[in-house]
Amino acid sequence: MNKDERIKVLQDIIQIPSENDHEGEVAQYIAELLNDYGIDSQLVEYAPGRSSLVAEIKGQEDGKVLVYSGHLDVVSAGDHEEWSHDPFGAEIVDGKMYGRGTTDMKSGLAAIVIALIELKEAQADLKGTLRLALTVGEEIGMLGSEQLVDEGYLDDADAFLIAEPSGNEAIINAHKGSIQYEVIAHGESAHSSMPEEGIDAIQLLVDYINIMNEKFDQAFNTDEAYNDQLGRSLNVNTVIEAGTQINSVASKAKMKANTRVVPEAGNDLVVKMMQDTMDELNEKSDGRLELNLLQNNPAAESRPDNDLVKAIQASADWEVGTQTLAGATDASNFGRISDDYDLAVFGPGETARAHKLDEYVEVADYLKFIDLYIETAKTYLA
C-alpha cells in the first residue's frame, strides 16, 4: 500500500462507530480488505453484531507462531458537541488524526492488518506463521480474547504482540491482573429510632471492608508476595451505594471494587479470601453478604529480554526500552495458554490520550509502526 492507502484504511475504520460493542461492521470491513489481497479470514461470532477475526499468513518453512492482536471496540465518545472534531470523522489537522479510537486502538489495529497484507504482497521469507487475532469487547470484559483462547484459536502461539497505545519509548512486557467485583450486603429495613428491629446492611458491609482490608494487607504486603517488575497487589473500593432515606435502617448496601493482582498473589487466592471472609461474617450475622465477580483476568508477565522484545528493538530505528503497565490488556487471557510465551505490548499513540475528548494519533507515528510491525515479523520469524 502507498501512504494514502494506509491512511485511508485507518480513516475508514475510525468512521465505523464500534462503541463498546457493534464490532461486527469493523470486522467485516477488515475481512473484505484481507480478501482483496488474497488472505482468508474467519469471523468468530461472540453475539449478534459482534465478531472477532482470525487470519494468518504462513512462511515456506515451519517455525514459531507470532500473533499480532488488537481490539475492535472503542469506548463511548460521549457528547459529540463537546468535541472540537467529529469523533467519527477521522479528520486530519496538522498531522494529527482526530476521532474516537484513533489512539485506543484503531491505529494499532489498522497497522497490524496492513503489516500482514504488505508481508503477503512482498512474499516475505518468513519461517513460521504470522496470525491476526482481532477481538471484541476488550474495553468491557475482554470478551473476545477469552473466547478465542477457550475455543482453541491460539493454542499454538509462541508470542503475542498487542498493538495497544504505548508511546514510542518503551515496550510493555508485563501487567497486573484485574478482578472487578461487587459485594452486596442484604439486611432488613427498620425505623432508625428502632434499629434493633432491622438488620443494618451498611454495618455488615463496613465489617466486611475492614476485615478484608486487614487480611489483604497481611497476606500481600510481604516480600513473598512482591513482584520485582510489578510491585504489590492492590485493592481499591471504588463505588458504594446504600440506603433509601435518612430515617430508615438500610436493607441493602452494595460496593464495587477493583483488585490489581501480581502473579505471586494469584487471582484464585484473592477470590478465595473474599469468599471466606463473607462466609465467616454470614455465619455470625442475620444478614447476608453476596459476592459477584464482574471481571477476573490474571496478570500477564514475560521477561523484559524475551525474543519478541529483542526483535522489536532490533527492528526499530530508534532506542526502545521496556516497562510495565498499570492497567490490563487482552494478554491476561492470552497468558492462560502457556506459562512460557513472549509478550510485547507496543503500539502507536499515547495512553494519556485514550478515552478523552479530541482523542488523536500522530499520523507519522501510525505509519512508522506499520513499518516496525513488518520488520518485527521478519526478524522474529527468521
The three cell numbers of residue 374 are 513488518
Percentage of the chain exceeding pLDDT 90: 96
Residue 109 one-letter amino acid: L
Q: Are residues 312 and 290 in the same domain?
A: no
Query: Tens of pLDDT along 228-263?
Result: 999 999 999 999 999 999 999 999 999 999 999 999
Q: Are residues 170 and 192 in the same domain?
A: no
C-alpha to C-alpha distance for 367 and 373, rounded to whole angstroms = 10
Grid look-up 432491622 returns 198
Adjacency order of strands within the sheet including 288-297: 234-242, 252-261, 177-186, 288-297
Kindly state the average pLDDT of the residues 208-219: 97
Phi and psi of 124, rounded to 5°?
Answer: -60, 140
Q: Are residues 156 and 36 in the same domain?
A: yes
Q: Predicted confidence band at 56 (pLDDT cuts at 50, 70, 90)?
A: very high
Q: Predicted confidence band at 327 (pLDDT cuts at 50, 70, 90)?
A: confident
Mean per-residue pLDDT of the chain? 96
Q: Which long-range contacts (CB under 8 A, 24 or more apart) does 13-16 make?
A: 13/101, 13/106, 13/109, 13/110, 14/88, 14/89, 14/90, 14/97, 14/99, 14/100, 14/101, 14/102, 14/106, 15/88, 15/89, 15/90, 15/99, 16/88
Q: Are residues 94 and 183 in the same domain?
A: no
- Strands 170-175, 300-301: pairing is antiparallel
- Domain end, chosen from 254, 270, 297, is at 297
- Domain end, chosen from 276, 297, 318, is at 297
Q: Give the pLDDT score at 21.
A: 82
Q: Are residues 30 and 129 in the same domain?
A: yes
Q: Are residues 154 and 52 in the same domain?
A: yes
Residue 141 has pLDDT above 90, yes or no: no
Query: Tens of pLDDT along 167-189?
Result: 999 999 999 999 999 999 999 99
Q: Give the pLDDT score at 326.
A: 81
Total number of domains in the chain: 2
How large is the C-alpha radius of gyration of the chain?
A: 23
Residue 140 has pLDDT above 90, yes or no: no
- Domain end, chosen from 267, 297, 327, is at 297
C-alpha to C-alpha distance for 318 and 309, rounded to whole angstroms = 14
Q: Give the pLDDT score at 369.
A: 98
C-alpha to C-alpha distance for 73 and 353, rounded to whole angstroms = 16
Question: Which residues are tagged catalytic?
Answer: 73, 138
Q: Are residues 216 and 341 in the same domain?
A: no
C-alpha to C-alpha distance for 312 and 166, rounded to whole angstroms = 13
Q: Are residues 268 and 329 in the same domain?
A: no
Per the structure, the complete domain to which residue 275 belongs is given by 177-297
Q: Predicted confidence band at 22 (pLDDT cuts at 50, 70, 90)?
A: confident
Nearest alpha carbon to residue 233 among 207, 263, 256: 263
Give me the CATH number covering residue 52: 3.40.630.10
The three cell numbers of residue 47 are 453475539
Kindly state the average pLDDT of the residues 329-358: 94
Grid look-up 510489578 returns 230
Kindly state the average pLDDT of the residues 40-46: 98
